[in-house]
A = this chain, B = another copy of it.
């Protein structure tokens, strides 16, 4: 492939010339416009194929003022939940004739801002976002709202009120279920490792968890609670501190599965028996929780179902069907979660 400068391609004008008809007719024929004779349509399509003509969506987008592209900003595609969400969303949007432009913020607020601007300039027809870990202000998305471009937040949604669509998991209930389950399994001294409270999902999981403990009269101990990015390294560091004292936890709620997995490894290293000495519950039902020994109890979030809701919302909004959608601005749609019991509880 020698680097040659982009040879100008055949356009509909060229096809039109070759056939001795007008570009408008060619355009209509290719777009299956009804007011064109079957004969012409066939003739045009054949000629176009013969000439290697390809539709130019840049020109088409400019003319139509719509790109048929939807932007997606996600913290990281390597997170199980998001990978599955994306796959499902992409399939549905593809079917509806939209392309999905997938971008990763890498959990950086700055990158998120840049991406928002880029996608705005790219004139995406809609934007779907799951926020970075420390995003609190969402002013970088205001342009979309001002222009009436559909904006959908999912999973990690803004904590402030917004005029965008909001589709989230029932993280409060997830936290509640986790707490209830640990207590019902007999835990008296429960620890908690959470993500930062700047992030909606951890706020809610924490609320639910605390409410559960309160309901059962089990103390929520500040000194056994950690809020930090949920990496393996941070998990080990917190676990070491948790198990450094005389009194040690007999239950742990890890707000993500990476942390729960680290906890299982930690317990093994320390000779802490699971579930006898320590019960562990994670969050997201990452496939890894099922293959590790012992398999980890976790909270399922149904990424595919959430993708369904997001797709439905998008397509409704883009087709201006408006109120027929089940999701409306200002009222978050909350998707169910379930506890999946395995061997750590």
Residues of B within 8 A of A151 (CB): 1
Interface size on A, residues (CB 8 A): 70
Do A6 and B78 have beta carbons less than 8 Å apart? Answer: no
Do A148 and B3 have beta carbons less than 8 Å apart? Answer: yes
Least CB distance from A122 to B in Å reads: 5
Q: Does A101 contact B (CB under 8 A)?
A: yes
Q: Does A277 contact B (CB under 8 A)?
A: no
> Can you name 24 A-B residue pairings with CB atoms under 8 Å?
A1-B148, A1-B150, A1-B317, A3-B320, A3-B321, A6-B147, A7-B147, A52-B146, A56-B62, A56-B123, A57-B122, A58-B61, A59-B62, A76-B87, A77-B102, A78-B80, A78-B87, A87-B106, A91-B106, A100-B103, A101-B102, A287-B288, A288-B291, A293-B293
A-B contact sample (18 more), CB < 8 A, given A78-B83, A100-B103, A101-B102: A1-B145, A1-B148, A1-B329, A2-B148, A3-B322, A6-B149, A8-B65, A9-B147, A58-B123, A78-B80, A87-B104, A90-B103, A90-B104, A99-B103, A99-B118, A265-B291, A288-B288, A292-B292
- Which A residues fall within an 8 A CB radius of B? 1-9, 52, 54-59, 61-62, 65-67, 69, 76-78, 80, 83-84, 86-87, 90-91, 94, 99-104, 106, 114, 117-118, 120-123, 143, 145-151, 163-165, 261, 265, 287-288, 291-293, 317, 320-322, 329
